[in-house]
Amino acid sequence: MTYSILVPVKQVADSTARIRVRNDGSDVDLSGVKMAANPFDEIALEEAIRQREAGMAREVVVVSIGPRTAQETLRKALAIGADRAIHVLAPREIEPLAVAKVLKKIAQREAVDLVFLGKQAIDDDCNQTGQMLAEFLGWPQATFASSVRIAGGEITVVREVDDGLETLALSVPAVVSVDLRLNEPRYASLPNIMKAKNKPLAEIAVEDLGVDIAPRLTLLGVREPDVRQAGTMVRSVGELASILRLAAGRI
Protein backbone atom coordinates (compact mmCIF):
# COMPACT_ATOMS: atom_id res chain seq x y z
CA MET A 1 0.00 0.00 0.00
CA THR A 2 1.47 3.36 -0.98
CA TYR A 3 -0.02 6.68 -0.07
CA SER A 4 -0.69 10.05 -1.59
CA ILE A 5 0.66 12.82 0.65
CA LEU A 6 -0.57 16.42 0.64
CA VAL A 7 1.90 19.03 1.91
CA PRO A 8 0.47 22.51 2.55
CA VAL A 9 3.19 25.13 2.08
CA LYS A 10 2.65 28.70 3.18
CA GLN A 11 4.60 31.54 1.61
CA VAL A 12 5.96 33.74 4.40
CA ALA A 13 8.57 36.49 4.78
CA ASP A 14 12.04 34.94 4.57
CA SER A 15 13.28 34.16 8.08
CA THR A 16 16.36 36.34 7.52
CA ALA A 17 14.38 39.37 6.31
CA ARG A 18 14.20 42.48 8.48
CA ILE A 19 10.49 43.19 9.01
CA ARG A 20 9.30 46.73 9.65
CA VAL A 21 6.06 47.88 11.23
CA ARG A 22 4.04 50.36 9.18
CA ASN A 23 4.24 53.92 10.47
CA ASP A 24 0.59 53.87 11.52
CA GLY A 25 1.09 50.59 13.44
CA SER A 26 -1.74 48.93 11.50
CA ASP A 27 0.36 45.92 10.40
CA VAL A 28 3.82 44.88 9.27
CA ASP A 29 5.08 46.25 5.97
CA LEU A 30 5.92 43.40 3.59
CA SER A 31 6.54 45.53 0.51
CA GLY A 32 9.87 44.57 -1.07
CA VAL A 33 10.47 41.83 1.52
CA LYS A 34 11.95 38.54 0.26
CA MET A 35 9.40 35.73 0.55
CA ALA A 36 10.07 32.00 1.04
CA ALA A 37 8.41 28.75 2.07
CA ASN A 38 7.58 28.48 5.77
CA PRO A 39 10.62 26.59 7.18
CA PHE A 40 8.49 23.94 8.95
CA ASP A 41 6.70 23.25 5.66
CA GLU A 42 10.05 22.56 4.00
CA ILE A 43 10.61 19.91 6.68
CA ALA A 44 7.15 18.42 5.98
CA LEU A 45 7.94 18.37 2.25
CA GLU A 46 11.31 16.71 2.85
CA GLU A 47 9.60 14.01 4.94
CA ALA A 48 6.98 13.37 2.25
CA ILE A 49 9.69 13.08 -0.44
CA ARG A 50 11.72 10.69 1.74
CA GLN A 51 8.61 8.52 2.21
CA ARG A 52 8.13 8.43 -1.57
CA GLU A 53 11.79 7.57 -2.08
CA ALA A 54 11.41 4.75 0.48
CA GLY A 55 8.48 3.39 -1.54
CA MET A 56 5.83 4.33 1.06
CA ALA A 57 4.23 7.16 -0.92
CA ARG A 58 3.24 7.21 -4.58
CA GLU A 59 2.73 10.94 -4.90
CA VAL A 60 3.57 14.20 -3.12
CA VAL A 61 1.19 17.07 -3.82
CA VAL A 62 1.98 20.58 -2.53
CA VAL A 63 -0.70 23.20 -2.01
CA SER A 64 -0.43 26.87 -1.15
CA ILE A 65 -3.23 29.30 -0.39
CA GLY A 66 -2.33 32.90 -1.04
CA PRO A 67 -1.65 35.61 -3.62
CA ARG A 68 -0.15 34.96 -7.07
CA THR A 69 3.40 35.21 -5.68
CA ALA A 70 2.75 31.92 -3.82
CA GLN A 71 3.43 30.20 -7.16
CA GLU A 72 7.15 30.98 -6.81
CA THR A 73 7.18 28.99 -3.57
CA LEU A 74 5.25 26.15 -5.22
CA ARG A 75 7.72 26.03 -8.14
CA LYS A 76 10.54 25.75 -5.62
CA ALA A 77 8.70 22.89 -3.87
CA LEU A 78 8.39 21.16 -7.27
CA ALA A 79 12.12 21.67 -7.83
CA ILE A 80 12.85 20.12 -4.44
CA GLY A 81 10.83 17.04 -5.39
CA ALA A 82 7.04 17.43 -5.14
CA ASP A 83 5.20 15.77 -8.06
CA ARG A 84 2.57 18.42 -8.62
CA ALA A 85 1.26 21.63 -7.12
CA ILE A 86 -2.06 23.33 -6.47
CA HIS A 87 -2.33 27.06 -5.99
CA VAL A 88 -5.48 28.27 -4.28
CA LEU A 89 -5.56 31.91 -5.25
CA ALA A 90 -6.73 34.02 -2.31
CA PRO A 91 -6.88 37.80 -2.53
CA ARG A 92 -5.49 38.40 0.95
CA GLU A 93 -4.12 36.58 3.99
CA ILE A 94 -6.74 34.16 5.28
CA GLU A 95 -6.99 32.93 8.86
CA PRO A 96 -6.04 29.39 9.97
CA LEU A 97 -9.73 28.43 10.37
CA ALA A 98 -10.38 29.25 6.71
CA VAL A 99 -7.07 27.66 5.63
CA ALA A 100 -8.13 24.43 7.39
CA LYS A 101 -11.52 24.50 5.58
CA VAL A 102 -9.79 25.00 2.22
CA LEU A 103 -7.29 22.23 2.95
CA LYS A 104 -10.15 19.87 3.84
CA LYS A 105 -11.69 20.50 0.41
CA ILE A 106 -8.37 19.94 -1.34
CA ALA A 107 -7.59 16.77 0.65
CA GLN A 108 -10.99 15.37 -0.32
CA ARG A 109 -10.86 16.43 -3.98
CA GLU A 110 -7.40 14.95 -4.40
CA ALA A 111 -8.31 11.86 -2.34
CA VAL A 112 -5.03 12.02 -0.41
CA ASP A 113 -4.25 9.62 2.44
CA LEU A 114 -1.94 11.77 4.52
CA VAL A 115 -1.39 15.45 5.19
CA PHE A 116 2.09 16.46 6.40
CA LEU A 117 2.20 20.11 7.42
CA GLY A 118 4.34 22.47 9.46
CA LYS A 119 3.60 22.74 13.17
CA GLN A 120 3.27 26.50 12.72
CA ALA A 121 3.67 29.31 10.25
CA ILE A 122 6.51 31.62 11.33
CA ASP A 123 4.58 34.75 10.37
CA ASP A 124 1.40 34.26 12.43
CA ASP A 125 2.80 31.69 14.93
CA CYS A 126 -0.72 30.29 15.19
CA ASN A 127 -0.09 26.53 15.40
CA GLN A 128 -3.79 25.93 14.66
CA THR A 129 -4.24 24.76 11.09
CA GLY A 130 -3.25 21.09 11.43
CA GLN A 131 -5.40 20.56 14.50
CA MET A 132 -8.48 22.12 12.90
CA LEU A 133 -7.91 20.24 9.65
CA ALA A 134 -7.78 16.88 11.49
CA GLU A 135 -11.09 17.73 13.20
CA PHE A 136 -12.76 18.80 9.93
CA LEU A 137 -11.62 15.62 8.17
CA GLY A 138 -12.35 13.41 11.18
CA TRP A 139 -8.83 11.94 10.88
CA PRO A 140 -6.37 11.06 13.67
CA GLN A 141 -3.56 13.56 14.14
CA ALA A 142 -0.08 13.66 15.61
CA THR A 143 1.44 17.07 16.26
CA PHE A 144 5.14 18.09 16.53
CA ALA A 145 6.54 14.93 14.91
CA SER A 146 10.27 14.35 15.33
CA SER A 147 10.18 10.94 13.62
CA VAL A 148 7.67 9.40 11.19
CA ARG A 149 7.57 5.74 10.12
CA ILE A 150 5.01 4.22 7.78
CA ALA A 151 4.50 0.45 7.82
CA GLY A 152 1.63 -2.01 7.53
CA GLY A 153 -1.12 0.54 7.01
CA GLU A 154 -0.11 2.38 10.14
CA ILE A 155 1.97 5.44 10.84
CA THR A 156 4.19 5.68 13.90
CA VAL A 157 5.10 9.15 15.09
CA VAL A 158 7.57 10.12 17.79
CA ARG A 159 6.84 13.46 19.45
CA GLU A 160 9.10 15.54 21.63
CA VAL A 161 7.12 16.39 24.76
CA ASP A 162 8.25 18.16 27.95
CA ASP A 163 9.08 14.92 29.79
CA GLY A 164 10.82 13.10 26.94
CA LEU A 165 9.63 11.28 23.85
CA GLU A 166 6.10 10.04 23.17
CA THR A 167 5.40 7.43 20.48
CA LEU A 168 1.98 7.27 18.84
CA ALA A 169 0.48 4.85 16.29
CA LEU A 170 -2.13 6.30 13.93
CA SER A 171 -4.31 4.61 11.37
CA VAL A 172 -4.27 6.08 7.84
CA PRO A 173 -5.72 8.55 6.72
CA ALA A 174 -4.07 10.94 9.14
CA VAL A 175 -2.72 14.44 9.68
CA VAL A 176 0.85 14.93 10.94
CA SER A 177 2.39 18.26 11.88
CA VAL A 178 6.19 18.32 11.90
CA ASP A 179 8.76 19.77 14.25
CA LEU A 180 12.22 21.17 13.66
CA ARG A 181 14.28 18.07 14.41
CA LEU A 182 12.46 15.69 12.02
CA ASN A 183 14.99 16.11 9.20
CA GLU A 184 17.20 18.52 7.34
CA PRO A 185 15.55 19.66 4.09
CA ARG A 186 17.52 19.27 0.86
CA TYR A 187 18.19 22.06 -1.63
CA ALA A 188 16.88 22.09 -5.17
CA SER A 189 19.57 21.21 -7.75
CA LEU A 190 19.85 23.27 -10.92
CA PRO A 191 18.64 20.43 -13.22
CA ASN A 192 15.63 19.91 -10.92
CA ILE A 193 14.84 23.64 -11.00
CA MET A 194 14.71 23.36 -14.81
CA LYS A 195 12.60 20.18 -14.70
CA ALA A 196 10.17 21.76 -12.22
CA LYS A 197 9.08 24.23 -14.92
CA ASN A 198 7.27 21.35 -16.66
CA LYS A 199 5.62 19.84 -13.59
CA PRO A 200 1.86 20.44 -13.23
CA LEU A 201 0.75 23.50 -11.27
CA ALA A 202 -3.04 23.88 -11.12
CA GLU A 203 -4.71 27.12 -10.07
CA ILE A 204 -8.06 27.30 -8.28
CA ALA A 205 -9.80 30.49 -7.15
CA VAL A 206 -10.68 30.25 -3.47
CA GLU A 207 -14.24 31.44 -4.23
CA ASP A 208 -14.77 28.35 -6.40
CA LEU A 209 -14.30 26.03 -3.42
CA GLY A 210 -17.51 27.16 -1.71
CA VAL A 211 -15.77 27.74 1.64
CA ASP A 212 -16.58 30.51 4.10
CA ILE A 213 -13.28 32.40 4.44
CA ALA A 214 -14.72 35.50 6.12
CA PRO A 215 -12.30 36.78 8.79
CA ARG A 216 -13.24 36.18 12.43
CA LEU A 217 -10.42 38.27 13.87
CA THR A 218 -9.62 41.98 13.73
CA LEU A 219 -6.01 43.06 13.90
CA LEU A 220 -5.99 46.00 16.29
CA GLY A 221 -2.34 46.93 15.93
CA VAL A 222 1.28 45.87 15.72
CA ARG A 223 4.29 47.44 17.41
CA GLU A 224 8.02 46.81 17.54
CA PRO A 225 9.31 44.95 20.62
CA ASP A 226 10.58 47.20 23.44
CA VAL A 227 14.20 48.19 22.99
CA ARG A 228 16.37 46.21 25.42
CA GLN A 229 18.17 48.22 28.08
CA ALA A 230 21.94 48.14 27.71
CA GLY A 231 23.61 45.72 30.16
CA THR A 232 26.56 46.53 32.44
CA MET A 233 29.83 44.62 32.57
CA VAL A 234 30.81 43.30 35.99
CA ARG A 235 34.47 42.88 36.83
CA SER A 236 34.29 39.72 38.93
CA VAL A 237 32.04 36.89 40.11
CA GLY A 238 32.12 38.48 43.57
CA GLU A 239 30.70 41.74 42.18
CA LEU A 240 27.97 39.80 40.34
CA ALA A 241 27.12 37.90 43.54
CA SER A 242 26.74 41.12 45.55
CA ILE A 243 24.52 42.68 42.85
CA LEU A 244 22.33 39.57 42.88
CA ARG A 245 22.21 39.61 46.70
CA LEU A 246 21.09 43.24 46.65
CA ALA A 247 18.44 42.51 44.00
CA ALA A 248 17.17 39.49 46.00
CA GLY A 249 16.88 41.73 49.06
CA ARG A 250 14.61 44.07 47.10
CA ILE A 251 12.15 41.29 46.15
Q: Contact between 5 and ligand AMP (CB under 6 A)?
A: no
With CB under 6 A as the rule, give the number of residues binding ligand AMP.
21
Task: Reduce the DSSP state of residue 91 to 3 states and report it.
Answer: coil
Binding to ligand AMP in span 60-99, by CB under 6 A: 64-66, 96, 99
Residue 154 or 203 with smaller CB distance to ligand AMP: 203
Q: Does the protein bind ligand AMP through residue 127 (CB under 6 A)? A: yes
- The whole-angstrom separation of Cα 101 and Cα 16 is 30
The residue among 1 and 205 lying less far from ligand AMP, judged by its C-beta, is 205
Of 82 and 117, the one with the shorter C-beta distance to ligand AMP is 117
CA dihedral for 170, 174, 177, 181, sign (positive or negative): positive
| Closest CB 103 distance from ligand AMP, rounded Å | 7
> 141-168 burial string, b = 16+ CB within 10 Å, else e?
bbbbbbbbebeeeebbbbbbeeeeeeeb
**Whole-Å CA distances, 40 to 7, 8, 36, 248:** 11, 10, 11, 41
**217 C-beta neighbours (distance < 10 Å), count:** 8
Judged by beta carbon, residue 56 or residue 106, the one nearer ligand AMP is 106
Q: Is 38 in the site for ligand AMP (CB under 6 A)?
A: yes
**Residues found near ligand AMP in the complex (CB under 6 A):** 8-10, 38, 40-41, 64-66, 96, 99, 117-118, 120-121, 124, 126-130
